[in-house]
């Protein structure tokens, strides 16, 4: 399948990354000739690691001719180091024990998060279709219930936060290349998951923790919205600040790639019911992710596959994504390979096996909304997952169909890393970014700066 601004991943993409890096290296060497570097310290080394993981949501178990079970098998055949389930797991079609056992029988290292069909927000016939899937505190579940989808990731870091609800981990633990942050924005927690009242809440977090980021009071009917709200209603600002700190911590630790994952969407192709046109997961947290140039913002909920262009803010003509309005100034690039650090790509991967919905994939209907203009791909014909392959210099993604024939790929170039010159200059003298939103990368050396446009480094422009 081809599209404007979309390229299939092939050897030319990798050669293009290499050429971009070589040209950037030449540029920096010229700058080094005129800038004194008396404070050089060796850059932090990353383990020379190659690994892959799969991501999808909205599974079910027996629906659509056992589509979810077919997907589990396909994941198991794809050489994944781990998988992330984006919520809405069994839909009450089987027990947590069976669902988790089937998935982990194919990909043992399974990390899961909460969807509205898991939290008690949307009821299903099976009362076990709730947080009993997760390794959550015993106070969250009825006495005697067991939980089967435990966090297991040999070689990865331990989780920080609340399992299945709000947490992050790094992979690999030594010299990590990726931090994955998972949150529950827009999710309502209620019975049978939570049965206590607001006047008698349950405290979640480390034993004896004080209420604040990472330590919350929860009750039946609570909705986590992750709002940048100074009034901190329902501790939303604490959640927002927790995410902000998790992103900043990854940057401080020099972790190249950062993912923010959740179940519900905000920016989508629109279409379908009104609930799938509006932002269900809080625009504040999406705009925070884009402002900090999180690499991938990944959701489920809509039962299709959607991929956006690369988005970023510039402080003037694009300062936030506004629901229902397209602003071309917010688009950094629509062409793969994308430049790491230039902006954020939004993915929806809700093709896990439950009934597919086209939403904005088709023309007409509610597609008078301009939101689809932010997107490059939308398909609802094939069940499957996105496989991410990570190396020290790049991240590539491909949609792997478990039934159907759809395929699509894109790549991030992590410039400078493989040739080893990302930290040739001390951090206080060097920074780069797309702060002016015109696609130009600015290298700053003290009071001097040089503008370099990424298109100048592309093979076709040499």
84-125 pLDDT tens trace: 999 999 888 888 889 999 999 999 999 988 898 888 787 654
Host H or E run for residue 288: helix 283-291
Of 18-27, 143-152, 170-179, 435-444, which gets the smallest average pLDDT? 435-444
- Round the average pLDDT of the chain to a whole number and report it: 76
Closest of 6, 30, 80 to residue 338, by C-alpha: 6
Closest of 89, 106, 31, 12 to residue 445, by C-alpha: 31
What is the average pLDDT across 204-222?
Answer: 86
pLDDT band at 425 (very low <50, low <70, confident <90, very high): very low
What is the average pLDDT across 123-139?
Answer: 52
Distances (CA, A) of 85 to 262, 299, 375: 10, 10, 23
Asked if 79 and 53 count as a contact pair (C-beta separation under 8 A), the reply is: no
* C-alpha to C-alpha distance for 181 and 243, rounded to whole angstroms: 8
Instruction: Dump the DSSP string for 166-213.
Output: EEEEEESSSS-SEEEEE--TTEEE-TTT----TTSPEEESSTTPPSBT
pLDDT of residue 117: 87
Q: How many CB atoms lie within 10 A of CB 444?
A: 15
Q: Residue 222: pLDDT above 70? A: yes
Closest of 341, 326, 327 to residue 295, by C-alpha: 341
Of 160-164, 183-187, 324-328, 430-434, which gets the smallest average pLDDT? 430-434
Which one has a higher pLDDT value, 271 or 401?
401
pLDDT of residue 118: 84
* C-alpha to C-alpha distance for 336 and 135, rounded to whole angstroms: 38
pLDDT of residue 142: 44
Q: Residue 9: pLDDT above 70? A: no
* C-alpha to C-alpha distance for 387 and 407, rounded to whole angstroms: 11
* C-alpha to C-alpha distance for 234 and 226, rounded to whole angstroms: 9
Question: What residues have CB less than 8 Å from 343, skipping those under 6 apart?
Answer: 290, 293, 310, 311, 312, 332, 333, 434
Q: Residue 458: pLDDT above 50? A: no
Instruction: Dump the DSSP string for 131-162.
Output: GGGS---GGGS-TT---------TTSPPPEEE
pLDDT of residue 15: 56
pLDDT of residue 297: 98
CATH 3.60.21.10 is right for the domain spanning 11-461: yes
Q: Which of 78-82, 123-127, 233-237, 441-445 has the highest mean pLDDT?
A: 78-82
As beta bridge partners, residue 403 has 383
Question: pLDDT over 90 for what percent of the chain?
Answer: 45
Q: Residue 24: pLDDT above 80? A: no
Residue 347 CA neighbour count, 13 Å, CB half: 26
* C-alpha to C-alpha distance for 396 and 295, rounded to whole angstroms: 12
For 411, the token pair is 């790549």
Asked if 42 and 439 count as a contact pair (C-beta separation under 8 A), the reply is: no
* C-alpha to C-alpha distance for 440 and 262, rounded to whole angstroms: 31
Question: Looking up tokens 């600002």, which residue turns up?
Answer: 237
Q: Residue 313: pLDDT above 50? A: yes
pLDDT of residue 346: 96
pLDDT of residue 144: 41
Q: Which of 71-75, 419-423, 437-441 has the highest mean pLDDT?
A: 71-75
pLDDT of residue 438: 34
Q: Residue 259: pLDDT above 50? A: yes
pTM of the predicted model over 0.85: no
Q: Residue 330: pLDDT above 50? A: yes
pLDDT of residue 192: 62
How far from the centroid of its chain's Cα atoms is residue 245's Cα?
16
Of 46-55, 169-178, 189-198, 267-276, which gets the smallest average pLDDT? 267-276
């Amino acid at each position: 399948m081809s599209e404007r601004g979309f390229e299939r991943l092939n050897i030319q993409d990798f050669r293009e990354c290499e050429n971009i890096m070589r040209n950037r290296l030449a540029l920096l060497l010229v700058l080094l000739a005129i800038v004194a570097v008396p404070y050089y310290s060796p850059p932090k080394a990353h383990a020379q690691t190659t690994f892959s993981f799969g991501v999808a949501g909205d599974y079910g178990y027996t629906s659509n001719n056992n589509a979810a079970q077919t997907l589990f098998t396909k994941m198991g055949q794809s050489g994944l180091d781990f998988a992330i389930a984006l919520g809405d797991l069994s839909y009450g079609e089987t027990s947590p024990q069976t669902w988790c056992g089937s998935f982990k029988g194919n990909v043992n290292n399974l990390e899961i998060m909460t969807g509205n069909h898991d939290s008690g927000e949307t009821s299903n016939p099976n009362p076990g279709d709730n947080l009993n899937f997760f390794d959550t505190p015993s106070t969250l579940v009825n006495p005697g219930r067991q939980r089967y989808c435990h966090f297991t990731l040999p070689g990865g870091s331990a989780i920080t936060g609340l399992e299945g609800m709000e947490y992050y981990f790094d992979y690999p633990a030594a010299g990590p290349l990726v931090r994955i942050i998972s949150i529950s924005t827009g999710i309502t927690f209620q019975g049978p998951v939570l049965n206590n009242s607001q006047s008698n809440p349950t405290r979640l977090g480390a034993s004896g923790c004080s209420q604040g980021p990472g330590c919350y009071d929860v009750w039946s009917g609570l909705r986590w919205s992750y709002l940048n709200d100074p009034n901190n209603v329902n501790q939303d600002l604490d959640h927002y600040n927790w995410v902000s700190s998790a992103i900043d911590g990854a940057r401080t630790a020099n972790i190249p790639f950062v993912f923010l994952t959740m179940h519900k969407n905000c920016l989508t192709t629109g279409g379908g019911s009104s609930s799938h046109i509006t932002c269900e997961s809080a625009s504040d947290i999406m705009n925070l992710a884009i402002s900090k140039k999180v690499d991938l913002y990944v959701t489920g909920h809509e039962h299709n596959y959607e991929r956006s262009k690369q988005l970023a803010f510039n402080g003037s003509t694009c300062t936030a994504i506004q629901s229902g309005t397209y602003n071309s100034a917010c688009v950094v690039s629509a062409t793969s390979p994308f430049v790491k650090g230039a902006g954020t790509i939004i993915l929806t991967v809700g093709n896990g096996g439950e009934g597919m919905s086209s939403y904005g994939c088709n023309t007409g209907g509610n597609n008078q909304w301009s939101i689809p203009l932010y997107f490059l791909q939308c398909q609802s014909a094939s069940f499957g997952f996105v496989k991410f392959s990570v190396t020290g210099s790049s991240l590539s993604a491909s949609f792997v169909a478990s039934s159907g024939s759809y395929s699509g790929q894109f790549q991030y170039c992590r410039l400078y890393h493989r040739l080893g010159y990302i930290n040739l200059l001390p951090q206080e003298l060097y920074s780069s970014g797309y702060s002016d939103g015109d696609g130009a990368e600015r290298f700053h050396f003290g009071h001097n700066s040089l503008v370099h446009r990424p298109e100048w480094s592309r093979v076709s422009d040499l």
